[in-house]
Structure 1
Amino acid sequence: MFWDSLFRQDCLCCPNSGIKKFTTTARRNIEKQQCEVIVGAQCGNAVLRGAHVYVPGIVSASKFMKAGDVISVYSDIKGKCKKGAKEFDGTKVFLGNGVSELSRKDIFNGIPDLKGIGIRMTEPIYLSPSFDNVLPSYLFLQNLPSAVVAHVLNPQPGEKILDLCAAPGGKTTHIAALMQDQGEVIALDKILNKVEKLKQNASLLGLHSIRAFCFDATKAVKLDMIDGTEGTPPFLPESFDRILLDAPCSGMGQRPNMACTWTLKEVTSYQPLQRKLLNVAVQLLKPGGVLVYSTCTVTLAENEEQVAWALKTFPCLQLQPQEPQIGGEGMVGAGLSPEQLKQLQRFDPSVVPLQDMDTDCLGDAKREDMIWLANKDCIGFFIAKFLKCKSTEEKVSRK
């Protein structure tokens, strides 16, 4: 287990050696087939992470494709392929070969709402292991920075914790596990099917301290006393010992990503929402409590600028150092001091000099080298930790 001194016994870190295979031998050695399947960009991203191709992700299939055929899988990264097409000559990226579980007729004219595996990948170009259904009662797959977040929050047994934007529950369940399932973890999300998935994950992992609600987190502060609503959202101010705000964001740090679909309007829409949620979090946090703010994006506006805004808007907040500190320091440009930037944690994969690295030697790498590699070869992510040093005496601004 890597970083055992940092992650104790709750995380198993699995470095992926797929880069070596992708950049040297695998791409050249895979023979492309005449029979083709085209999948959407999101499905293609999942295949690069080790998944098989599920029926909902299939956009096109060759005319005579039958169950059992060896086929080549491509990703339509521009979204130009028409559903049900028999061939596609547009921009597509080769993902590897697989074996069809179904015929073309089964996929496009067969059972309605078919959701099972359509193509079982046998020769993916990127050798990323799939952890689907691997010890599901014991393991929850997360990217490294997502696992760091719960440790930075540092929940303790018996505390009352709020996860404001919780689904699908990876960080929520990790928090409950770190608390030894002793205390209360309140999880909110405004999309019902995501909340149900969160409950399923908690049940599968045998965690009983989690209570999940379908609720808009921007409205989570109770403005007056209402009988019969104790323990359900909205909540009275200063009700929680620690709060995690893993905020909705532009998601520009997610990898792999073969298609950029963001508009400027969409990207700029997140900052006001994040500030509303920070406002709520500060009101709900007890004096002496800890607030952790995180995103899976890399923009200054959604990260360091939000920290600077929060410190200016809420004098009761103090920026805190983080443990463990694996990512790099914050980005300049938001008016934060060098000392404040060192208290932030930014995972930045923009420079990944791994193509010529001998990944077979990773098992013998030094701890500091593995930490450096983790910062350079993971998703883009940002973490800030605050302490609420006194009660919020006046009504918090709703800017």
Structure 2
Amino acid sequence: MRGPVPKKPTAVLHRPEEMSVFPRVSLRPEVYEHLRHVFLNQELLAAVGRAEAERRFQGLLLVLSHPPGFTCVRASTHLAPLEEVRRRLAQELQQRQQRSGSPAAVAVEILLHPRVPDVLLLPVIGPRSLVPLRSEVVVGAQCGSAVLRGANVFAPGIVATPKFMKPGDAVSVFSDVDGRCTRGCTKPFQGNKVFVGNGVSEMHRATIFAQEPAKGLGVRMTEPLYQSPSFDGVLPDLVFLQNLPSVVVGHVLGPRPGERVLDMCAAPGGKTCHLAGLMKNQGEVLALDRIKNKVELIRQNAAALRLTCVRAFCFNSTQAVTSDPALLATDGPPFPPSSFDRVLLDAPCSGLGQRPSMTVGWSLKEITSYSPLQRKLLHAAVQLLRPGGVLVYSTCTVTLAENEEQVAWALDTYPCLSLVPQEPHVGGPGLPGAGLTPDQLKLLQRFSPELSNVAPPLSTEAPPPLSNEAPPLSTEAPPPLSNEAPPLSTEAPPLSHQADRDTIGFFIAKFLKN
């Protein structure tokens, strides 16, 4: 006998204040004022006006504490066609739902992106109307953020549980926003916490807090506040969880088979493997990172995806170039100048574009400490790039100092560099405030979730599907920079447009070395 037909989700348009389940991201006062100054700078005020600039800033603080409306998966199209990956993923997720025995199964919609040819999008359902249970499990903020993006709760992330919790107990999961909950606490935590869903315990409390740190699944989420499939162990050779802008970066760099490419800050290797896949595993991708165990993770990811053209080294990329023959290595860093056709610098940054993030405890000194390191890395990148080569600089933060101001500095410091168009260009233009011209801002790509007027859905009706065929990449120029804020419409834009906006905060610049 056939079971009930799974319900299908939809995407429904909400104003930013209507999507709010959590308060705006919590910042130290000096960090708040610093960011407010960034988003109310004179160039931006002249372009959009004070009221609109303030609305955007407050909207940013709101969306940062909430998860994006889509789960983005990069398909390993060097191993299988996109449609085959899509079919196998749908089959695997359906089988997992059936095995879970969930009484309220929801059909998983898997959509293609019309301009990014190896991306699959899964709309997130939420925030859902759920009733917290009496038994509470408290998890760390990082674990709570992972739950909001579809993960189950693993034992290392658990901070507190009921006194007699055992496998099979129904529990509610709360995220400790400020990190104030005492590990192993049995009393209800009264601090700053947010509800992220209901689940079923998979472990005894004694096991979780034993002297030997527990590993494995601690709580299986049966009713997450934001519903998105868990990808733990799902088709590891064919799909890779990656934010949409991070996938766009690889296409913007545009590596070709046979080229020599450098990924300067490569861990954990998602972008490295994407570049190697775009090159059809032909040529050479060298990946550098300063932390030894992260370098091993790059190697493991490349091996899992059968990418033999990737070589990873533990090395400080600021010192990756030398003209001294005595210091040159035979097959690794440091390298002589002009060694690479293309260089990706996905730079260490303040990470203020990451979502969801309910609190940022860093000081202003910490937030502003990345710019000098980024310039050292840019200096090495320009030297390592051959004439005629392409350099892509990216960050997952929203500040001017780490994004547009770095571009302005690079153009002023290195006359050999020029900005060139990006393809695909699915984000918005750069943010005014760094003295760049409107034409230069158009060539940049800033993903600004605060400009999204789309929130995760509350409805259970089916969404209109995207096309079943991925169109070729467009050759159109980037959209013009507008001084007008996008109007808050009452009609939902296409899902692909929603996914382009409702993502993490991210920045991409593409340079040509003349």
CA contact (8 A) 1:328 1:375 kept: no
Distance 2:507 2:170 in 1: 42
Tell me which residue corresponds to 1:380: 505
Structure 2 partner of 1:317:
417
Alignment of 1:1-399 (within 5 A): 1-4=111-114, 6-8=115-117, 11-18=118-125, 21-22=126-127, 26-27=128-129, 30-87=130-187, 88-109=189-210, 112-226=212-326, 229-355=329-455, 360-363=462-465, 369-389=494-514
**Greater length-normalized contact order (CA 8 Å, ≥ 6 residues apart):** 2
Q: Which amino acid aligns with 1:107?
A: I
Q: Residue 360 of structure 1 aligns to a residue in which SS? A: coil
Query: Pairwise CA RMSD of aligned residues?
Result: 1.8
1:394 corresponding residue in structure 2: none
Alignment partner, residue 91 of structure 2 = none
Partner letter of residue 248 of structure 2?
V
Structure 2 residue identity aligned to 1:298 = V
Partner of 2:57: none
Asked whether the 8 Å contact 2:339–2:385 carries over to 1, the reply is: yes
Counting aligned pairs with the same residue, the percent is: 58
How many residue pairs match? The answer is 378
Relative to the length of structure 1, the TM-score reads 0.91
Q: Which shifted more, 252-261 or 379-388?
A: 252-261
- Say if 2:122 and 2:228, in contact at 8 Å, map to a contact too: no
Offset at residue 371 of structure 1 (A)? 4.3
Question: Could you tell me the TM-score, scaled by structure 2's length?
Answer: 0.71
Query: Helix, strand or coil: the match of 1:363?
Result: coil
1:137 and 1:274 map into 2 onto residues whose CA distance is 33
Confirm or deny: 8 A CA contact 2:159 2:184 kept in the other structure: yes
Q: Which consecutive residues of structure 2, in runs of 5 or more, have no partner in the other structure?
A: 1-110, 472-492
Deviation at 1:67, TM superposition (A): 1.7
Listed one character per residue, the Cα deviations across residues 271-308 of structure 1 (whole Å, up to 9, x for unaligned) are 11100000000000000000000001111110000000
Which amino acid in structure 2 is aligned with residue 16 of structure 1? P
Mapped partners of 1:356, 1:124: distance in 2: 13
> Partner amino acid for 2:228?
S
Report Cα offsets for 1:7-52 as digits up to 9, x if no partner: 33xx13214232xx31xxx23xx33222211001011000001101
User: What is residue 392 of structure 1 aligned with on the other side?
Assistant: none
- Give the Å deviation of 1:59: 0.7
Q: Is the 8 A contact 1:166 1:187 kept in 2?
A: yes
Give, in whole Å, the separation in 2 of the partners of 1:382 and 1:12: 19
The offset of 1:228, in angstroms, is: 7.4
